[in-house]
Amino acid sequence: MSEDTQGQEGAGHPKWEYFVTPLLLHNEAAILNNWGAQGWELVQIIEGPAGGNVAYLKRKA
């Protein structure tokens, strides 16, 4: 086991937290840049159940 993984839960497997947010029309980049500045990484954008786009983001916990 490497030094990076010793003493961590999951034997080196990262733990993730997830966040889902709607993307308002004409403001997508600002929304994504805001979450990116807080360490969130975009995973996927899909159409939400009520219409409009929804972004799925993750970051290491």
Domain containing residue 29: 21-60
Q: What is the pLDDT of residue 32?
A: 96
Rounded distance between C-alpha atoms, residue 36 and residue 30, angstroms: 10
More confident residue, 61 or 11: 61
Has residue 7 been placed in a domain? Answer: no
Q: What is the pLDDT of residues 26-42, one digit of tens each?
A: 899 999 999 999 999 99
Q: How large is the average pLDDT for residues 2-17?
A: 68
Q: Is residue 12 part of a domain?
A: no
Query: Using an 8 Å Cβ cutoff, are 58 and 41 in contact?
Result: yes
Domain total for the chain?
1
Residue 10 in any domain: the answer is no
Count of all residues that appear for the chain in the document: 61
Max Cα–Cα distance, the chain, nearest Å: 48
11-26 average pLDDT score: 92
